[in-house]
Chains A and B, each alone.
Chain A
Amino acid sequence: MHHHVIPLKVYLTIFGSLLFLTIATVGVSYMPTVPIVHLIGALIIAAIKTTLIVMFFMHVRYNSHLIWSFASLGFFFVLLFMVFMMGDYISQYYSLTPATHAVPFDKF
């Protein structure tokens, strides 16, 4: 068995970055700006944190292409799911027969 043993320093660096990003995400939500920026900022930071965890804590960086693709598979489908769902709800407002309490996009 030949397994990549990741140096401790890497783990600690990643942990440090995660802590930093946690503070950053709190900071972003206090920034005086429009709501959508808060949301996007929070999601970007969460995505970075996720990438760090997946790559290093979950060893994907040192793994085969197969594991790479499976690690991305779920997130890719969540993205598709979100895009289609939000697409429906956002366009409901502009639809001729709105059925829910739709709001225009910029209110998000």
Chain B
Amino acid sequence: MNTNITSVSQTHSGTEAAKMPEQHYLNAGYDLKSWLLTTDHKRIAVLYFILITFFFFVGGLFAALIRLELVTPKGDLLTADVYNRVFTAHGAVMIFLFLIPSIPATFGNFLIPLMIGARDLAFPRLNLLSWYVYALSSILFVTVVLLGGVDTGWTFYAPLSTSFANGYVVLTIVAAFFAGFSSIFTGINFIATIHKMRAPGMTWFRLPLYVWGHYATSLIIILGTPVVAIALILIAVERVFRIGIFDPALGGDPILFQHLFWFYSHPAVYIMVLPGMGVISEVIGCFSRKRVFGYKFIAFSSMAIALVGFLVWGHHMYVSGQSVYAGMVFSLITYVVAIPSAIKVFNWTATMYKGTIYLQTPMIYALSFIGLFIIGGITGVVLASMAADVHLHDTYFVVAHFHYVMVGSAVTAYLAAVHFWWPKITGRMYSEFFGKLAAIITFIGFNLTFLPQFVVGYLGMPRRYYDYSFAPEWQIWHAASTLGSTVLAVGFALPVFYLTYSLIYGEIAGQNPWGAKGLEWEEASSPPAKFNFDKMPIVNQEAYAYDTPARGQTHFRGVTSRESLSIPPTSAETSHI
């Protein structure tokens, strides 16, 4: 269909050994200043990546403590108070410092300008500021933990948080507030960038679905985050000045807090998962060597989720005293919001149908994403039914549900992204063997950890309990879960080793090791140049045109497409518009 293929200066193809480009963003300066004062979106992404990875493991440490405590029915390892502080720290660190910024701040930052053909984000200095604000927030969080922590849960429910909790609530709130600001800055940046900085010819419907996912996410960020910011400020105001807003003893209304909180925090779950869905679209398309099926449906389903996702928050409040009529409406809309998510799943499977499937590491993560997201989503629909939720609310069933979507889906997608774009970011390949091994261990460990929690939750185990000696027969499920979490920990820890190893000893990846479509692969070197492209690209093709050969392809570990074997990638070197 398309035989006009122009070459990019440093394309390596065929059997030729791949070489590192001479100049790229990583060697554009080595001193600390060139990193800490950089406005290059790629370097800022790396800065984010480092901090985020660190906090992922900090959060994991707290999770380990929780799981250890629950091995036995009696509360023996930790005291009740310490246990409260541990699960709060786990939730707050994982959500505010890891999951919310995870994909947007690292891969979004790195890839959006590359994918749309821009030199940088629209506001590079704002981007750097957002990293600093995030860093400040993380320092505050660490301070809180070192001082002894908070015991309100990541949800800060009032009046517990305003009148009864005795940890460092206000400091935690300040930290969460800053974390929120950092993501608002990122959101504003993405919106302006995606609207205004697309390369000539990069129409909305030629954008990679990944970019659509980030666009929807950014809208949610700017619409939702400020509301939780004010909710948290009000908590601080009530706690410090004793001005009644939420505490009934002061004339306040505790349900009001839950409304404000969930108005953000339900959409926030889509902040966590929508970028991940974008990643999955890219990976599935690439490793099925097929155009993503139903492009427009996936694009619009992201937007639908962004909109409708704002109207379902009441499903967290069925038993809070919210009116049953409101509950009915929220329940109905919650069922509706499952539809766009399902559309995506169907389209991914349809993409794979009759595709040429390569089971490289990112693809394995993507496949486990699909499976785990289905379980997470469907249990969400179970919880959306008011009658069922009376029984299931605040049990481990809910815990299992949201871990399936937040870890099983969002974190898995994050790992898929790490493995898919690692060669682009670092210019090196990691060990495919260990990559696959980690992906499979993660999948097994994850299910071992969280499937039992559905059961024990259904049996009645409440969340946030450190002692279940009233029902010692549940121990088997908890023990299984803790065992699974050990496996999971191995799966998460492995990449740290082989990815770090690959930085020095990994094979040179070359421009396009997966033979993937997309500007970031076809037009930019690995690692990309400081201003991304040598020549600013012009786009005249749909996304995922896997029926035409990918440019800049570097053969790697058997990942070639049938097409590119028949048409040597750089044979037709005509400069042609």
Asked if the two chains touch in their complex, CB atoms less than 8 Å apart, one says yes
Residues of B378-430 at the interface with A, using a CB-CB cut-off of 8 Å, are: none
Query: What residues on B are CB-neighbors of A95 within 8 Å?
Result: 323-325
Give Cα A85–Cα B227 distance, bound, in whole angstroms. 13
A16, chain B: closest CB distance, angstroms? 33
Nearest opposing residue in chain B for A100, CB measure: B253
| A74 to chain B: closest residue by CB | B223
Judge if B83 is at the interface, Cβ distance under 8 Å: no
| Assembly CA distance A80 to B195 (angstroms) | 25
Question: Is there contact, CB below 8 Å, between B255 and A80?
Answer: no
Roughly how many angstroms separate A89 CA and B320 CA in the complex, as a whole number?
Answer: 13
A-side contacts of B107, CB under 8 Å: none
Residues of A near B263 (CB, < 8 A) are: 81
Shortest beta-carbon distance from A32 to chain B in Å: 30
Q: Which residue of A lies closest to B226 (CB)?
A: A74
Residue B321, interface by CB 8 Å: yes
Instruction: Provide the bound-state CA to CA distance between A68 and B227, in Å.
Output: 23
Give the distance in Å from the alpha carbon of A92 to the alpha carbon of B320 in the complex.
12
A80-B259 in contact given A66-B195, A74-B223, A91-B326 (Cβ < 8 Å):
no
What's the interface size class on A, roughly?
20 to 34
Say whether A88 contacts B323, CB under 8 Å. Answer: yes
Give chain A interface residues in 55-108, CB to chain B under 8 Å. 66, 73-74, 77, 80-81, 84-85, 87-89, 91-92, 94-100
Query: Across the A-B interface, how many residue pairs have beta carbons closer than 8 Å?
Result: 51
Residues of chain B within 8 A of A85, CB atoms compared:
259
Please report the C-alpha to C-alpha distance between residue A66 and residue B320 in the assembled complex, in whole angstroms.
40
Q: Are B223 and A88 in contact (CB under 8 A)?
A: no
Q: Give A95 Cβ to nearest chain B Cβ, in Å.
A: 4
Contact of A73 among B223, B253, B320 (CB under 8 A): B223
For B324, give its contact among A80, A81, A97, A100 (CB under 8 Å): A97
Give Cα A96 to B323, complex, Å. Answer: 8
What is the minimal beta-carbon distance from B210 to any residue of chain A, in angstroms? 22
Q: Which of A66, A77, A91 has a CB less than 8 Å from the CB of B323?
A: A91
CB–CB A99/B321 < 8 A: yes
Interface residues of B in 275-327 (CB under 8 A from A): 310-311, 314, 320-326
Q: Evaluate contact between B310 and A88: CB separation under 8 angstroms.
A: no
Q: How far is the CA of A98 from the CA of B321 in the complex (A)?
A: 6
Interchain CA distance A35-B321 in the complex, whole Å: 27
A36 to chain B, nearest CB (A): 20
Q: How far is the CA of A67 from the CA of B166 in the complex (A)?
A: 46
A92 to B253 Cα, complex, angstroms: 13
A92 surroundings in chain B (CB, below 8 A): 321-323, 326
CA distance A88 to B320 in the complex (A): 12
Instruction: List, in ascending order, chain B residues with CB within 8 A of A80's CB.
Output: 310-311
B17 close to A (CB within 8 Å): no
Give a binary string over B180-221; 1 marks a CB under 8 Å from any A CB, 0 the rest. 000000000000000100000000000000000000000100
In the complex, chain A residues whose CB is within 8 Å of the CB of B326:
84, 87-88, 91-92
Q: B359: which A residues are within 8 A, CB to CB?
A: none
State which residues 206-258 of B face A: CB under 8 Å: 219, 223, 227, 253, 255
Interchain CB contact under 8 A, A99 and B320: yes
Question: Residue B329 at the A interface, CB < 8 A?
Answer: yes
Residues of A near B329 (CB, < 8 A) are: 84, 87
Contact assessment for B322 and A77 in the assembled complex, using a CB-CB cutoff below 8 Å: no
Q: Taking the nearest CB of chain A, how far is it from the CB of B547, in angstroms? A: 33
Q: Which residue of B lies closest to A73 (CB)?
A: B223
| A89 lies within 8 A of B323 (CB) | yes
Q: Give the shortest distance, in Å, between B220 (CB) and chain A (any CB).
A: 10
A78 to B311, CA, bound (A): 12
Beta-carbon contacts of B252-276 to A below 8 Å, as 1s and 0s? 0101000100010000000000000
Q: What's the least CB distance linking B266 to chain A, in Å?
A: 12
Chain B residues with CB below 8 A from A74, complex form? 223
Q: What is the chain B residue whose CB lies nearest that of A102? A: B323
Q: How far is the CA of A89 from the CA of B322 in the complex (A)?
A: 8
A92–chain B nearest beta-carbon distance, Å:
4
Q: Are A88 and B259 in contact (CB under 8 A)?
A: yes
Instruction: Answer whether A84 and B324 are a contact pair too, CB < 8 Å, given A66-B195, A100-B255.
Output: no
Q: Which residues of B contact A81 (CB under 8 A)?
A: 227, 263
A87 to B326, CA, bound (A): 7
Name the CB-closest residue of A to B325: A91
* Interfacial chain B residues near A96, Cβ < 8 Å: 324
**Residues in A whose Cβ lies below 8 Å from that of B323:** 87-89, 91-92, 94-95, 98
Chain B neighbourhood of A100, CB < 8 A: 253, 255, 321
CB distance from B323 to the nearest CB of A (A): 4
Chain A residues with Cβ below 8 Å from B322 are 88, 92, 99
Given known contacts A80-B311, A99-B322, what 11 new A-B pairs fall within 8 Å (CB)?
A: A84-B326, A87-B323, A88-B314, A88-B326, A91-B323, A91-B324, A91-B325, A92-B321, A96-B324, A100-B255, A100-B321
The 5 closest A-B pairs by CB, nearest first: A99-B321, A88-B326, A91-B325, A91-B323, A95-B323
Which residues on A are within 8 Å of B, measured CB to CB? 66, 73-74, 77, 80-81, 84-85, 87-89, 91-92, 94-100
